[in-house]
Structure 1
Amino acid sequence: MRFLALIVLINFYTAVYAGWLPPENPSPRKILDEAREDARAGRYEDALLKHLWFHNNALKYDRAFYGVRLSFALSDWQELGHKYPEAMHSLEATRDMAGANVRSSVNYYDSFNDYKSINEKLGEEEKTIQLFRWLDKNRQDRAKKVYRLAQSSLVRAKEYELCSKYIDPENSYLRYVRYFRSGLEFSKQSPFQAKAESFAYTSFSNDVATLVALLARGGRKAEAEEVAEMAMLEWDDANFSSALSEAIEGKVPTPWP
């Protein structure tokens, strides 16, 4: 699988690379912007080459593009694929290569994140679940490491039993609290304070309620109640309390956002 995916990308580069070459000192932001402009102007081959370059090289120049690379950039690439089939083929090949890397333990954490993110864009989350099942069967140490990336896909598929094997309530809860507090702090300085604050509260509520529900579903109700009690001390809110009560009874909220 990995070899075939690589051949697809090599063949594409060989066929059209003459259309565009990265500059000597490339700017990931500029190249991504150019890819969007090329797509709007119908220069699809150049647009695809720039998306491929950005996906494969942006983090070498600036790690701050980690989130953009797996969100807005993938959305643009997918949109290009609706107009230019070769772009969709290359996106799928890139996804397949990431999956092969996970199986062969090549940069497996980031590769799993690539695989999962592309599958979400393509509406093929079942592939993510299948790969996580493979890790669960063959490399449980790696499954434990990537579980937090896979959780939303597993929850949407109601794979609660599989989730219960890998949830780490202490570390997960501490991470959610850290994100919550930093989100509220950020909102105070944001020009969109209300939206930023709402995001922090909603994210915390969904994350903690999911953790509590998965613990309850996995027969770990005492741990579920302990997490819920700590969370209420962190944020005393009636709606949040109600969500946690439902979670203790095993009602798993829909992943958000």
Structure 2
Amino acid sequence: MSTPIERLATARELADQGRYDAALQALAWFHEHALEHDPSLQGVRRSYALADWAMLAEAHPPAAVALEAVRERNTALLLAGQGNRDHLLDVVSIDHACDQPVRTRDLFVKLEALAPALAASCIRVVLPQVIAAGDAALAERLMPNPEENIRQHADYLMDAFRARRQRFTGAPSIPAEIHNYVQDVNAILDVLAARGRHADVRRLRRLAADAIPATTLRREVRAALVPGAPAWYERGVPRRRNERVS
């Protein structure tokens, strides 16, 4: 009997072969049953697997219908007061995979009135979608301490940097992590700028670089945070191909 991960790989192969119905069956099975076999696959289920499903939906309308049905099932439970955090995270993940952040924003606003404790428990996951939806006012309200948010992102970047120095084979590339960090910081700064908090934008842009203790890494981050700077990382290739972060 194949493992859930093997079934997910099979779904990708089937999609590549144009066997869309079979691919949809495999992806639907993974979403509904993978955690019964391996609870550690929650992250894969809400990221890679849903990304595969959303991609299949672009080529195969029944896949789009099936994915929307999953979203609507979870949404109905949430709005009826019968849903939980997992239902909301599934909806947010589907909206992210389908690049529909406004739907997440709209649902979150409803849940704040219907289930405020549940909504509050998911702010960190919902916030990037709210920012992507362009709702600066709501994003500002959900982000009472942007300095703390930036420091958390900086800690994550440093953890990735240390992992690479220790040669952990599963660690992501540093150029990719710099790119992600700069994107996260700029998203926060864009919210503050949209709200007219320009002094905070300047202060936090400096903080975002100063919060990185590794000298070379800090230099690269500072350069990438300059307004209008080209992307540090694009399609798997660092911008400075002959330089290495060490």
Say whether the fold is shared (TM-score over 0.5): yes
Deviation at 1:159, TM superposition (A): 0.5
CA distance in 2, matches of 1:223, 1:96: 39
Tell me which of 154, 160, 184 is aligned to 2:136. Answer: 160
Q: Does 1:231 align with 2:208?
A: yes
1:146 aligns with 2:128: no
**CA separation of 1:229 and 1:140: change in aligned 2, threshold 3 A:** farther
Task: Note if 1:180 corresponds to 2:157.
Answer: yes
1:47 aligns to what?
Answer: 23
Aligned AA for 1:48?
Answer: L
The yes-or-no answer on 1:76 pairing with 2:52 is yes
Partner Cα distance (1:219, 1:138) in 2: 31
Number of residues of Structure 1 aligned to a counterpart in Structure 2: 224
Q: Could you say what secondary structure the match of 1:237 adopts? A: helix
Equivalent in the alignment of 1:132: 108
Q: Over aligned residues, Cα RMSD in angstroms? A: 3.6
Question: Which 5+ residue runs of structure 1 have no aligned equivalent?
Answer: 1-22, 247-255
Could you say which structure has the greater relative contact order, defined with CA pairs below 8 angstroms and 6 or more residues apart? 1
Question: What is the distance in 2 between the residues matched to 1:52 and 1:234?
Answer: 42
**Residue 240 (structure 1) aligned with residue 222 (structure 2):** yes
Identity of aligned residues (%): 25
Distance of aligned partners of 1:142 and 1:216 in 2 relative to their CA distance in 1, 3 Å threshold: farther
Moved more, 218-227 or 230-239: 218-227
Output the TM-score relative to the length of structure 1: 0.68
Does the alignment pair 1:66 with 2:42? yes
Match of 1:112 in 2: 88
Q: Which has the higher helix share?
A: 1
2:173 match: secondary structure: helix
State the match for 2:231 in structure 1: none
In the alignment, what sits opposite 2:179? Answer: 202
- Partners of 2:39 and 2:132 in 1: CA distance: 29
Report the more deviating stretch, 111-120 or 78-87.
Answer: 78-87
Show the counterpart of 2:10.
34
| Distance in 2 between residues matched to 1:80 and 1:203, nearest whole Å | 26
**Matched position secondary structure for 1:158:** coil
Give the letter for the 1:144 counterpart: A
Shift of 1:83: 5.3
Supply the AA of the counterpart residue of 2:176: F
Aligned letter for 2:150? Y
Q: Using a 3 Å threshold, how does the CA distance of structure 1 residues 239 and 174 change in structure 2: closer, same or farther?
A: closer
Residues 82 and 202 (structure 1), Cα distance of their counterparts in 2 relative to 1, 3 Å cut = closer
Q: Could you tell me how far apart the structure 2 residues matched to 1:223 and 1:138 are?
A: 33
With normalisation by structure 2, the TM-score equals 0.71
Say whether the 8 Å CA contact 1:102–1:109 is kept in structure 2.
no
Say which of 49, 55, 72 aligns to 1:96. 72
Q: Are residues 85 and 186 of structure 1, via their aligned partners in 2, closer, same or farther at CA, if it must alter by over 3 Å?
A: same
CA distance in 1, matches of 2:66, 2:173: 35
Distance in 2 separating the partners of 1:46 and 1:106: 32
Assess, with a 3 A threshold, how the Cα gap between structure 1 residues 172 and 37 changes in structure 2: closer, same or farther: same
Structure 2 residue ranges without an equivalent (≥5) = 213-217, 228-233, 236-246
